[in-house]
């Protein structure tokens, strides 16, 4: 994996999803990462431009995947994770912030076409998911499945 320089597309199965730190806060103006607490702390770079720059949440999802020849842990940031979730991180948290465990269970077994690239940050440990395409014709985004569960009262 260390020699991987270009994006790489493969088929994989999602074996597990770590949903313990599913989202992170970013500044609404400059997209810099902000601390989770206090949740109302302003962006130090933008506070001088406006009185209250605000923030929103983004996805950061760790996935264990299996390809035909290896098992990998990859990180799925907001753009790719939205394909699986079908919504923004803020919308997901508004629906049911306690459903993270269910989300991980829902993703296990999904077969996907996935494009990976090496991390651009020198401190990063995992390959980045550039794009992900669930291949099951019956695939439903997480938000759709959670809404169905909450409406019918079944799990």
The reported pTM is 0.85
Q: Is the pLDDT of residue 1 over 70?
A: no
Token pair 């959670």: residue: 146
Lowest mean pLDDT among 2-11, 75-84, 137-146: 2-11
Residues 77-100 have pLDDT tens digits of 999 999 999 999 999 988 877 787
Counting DSSP H helices and E strands in the chain, the numbers are 4, 7
Between residues 20 and 40, the one the model is more confident about: 20
End-to-end CA, the chain: 38
**What is the CATH topology of the domain spanning 8-21+60-152?**
OB fold (Dihydrolipoamide Acetyltransferase, E2P) (2.40.50)
- Residue in 140, 142, 122 with CA at minimum distance from that of residue 23: 142
Q: Is the pLDDT of residue 40 over 90?
A: no
What confidence score (pLDDT) does residue 51 get?
Answer: 67
Task: Please state the domain extents for the chain.
Answer: 8-21+60-152
């Amino acid at each position: 994996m260390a020699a991987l320089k270009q994006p790489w597309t493969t088929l994989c199965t999602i074996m597990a999803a770590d949903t313990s730190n599913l989202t992170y806060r970013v500044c609404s103006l400059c997209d810099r990462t902000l601390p989770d607490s206090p949740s109302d702390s302003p962006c130090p770079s933008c506070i001088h431009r406006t009185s209250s720059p605000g923030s929103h949440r983004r996805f950061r999802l760790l996935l264990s995947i299996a390809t035909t020849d290896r098992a990998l842990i990859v990180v799925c940031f907001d753009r790719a994770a939205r394909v699986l979730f079908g919504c923004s991180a803020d919308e997901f948290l508004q629906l049911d912030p306690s459903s993270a465990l269910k989300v991980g269970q829902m993703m296990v077994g999904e077969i996907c076409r996935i494009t990976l690239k090496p991390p651009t940050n020198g401190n990063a440990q995992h390959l980045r998911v550039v794009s992900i395409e669930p291949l099951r014709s019956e695939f439903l985004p997480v938000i759709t499945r959670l809404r169905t569960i909450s409406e019918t009262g079944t799990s």
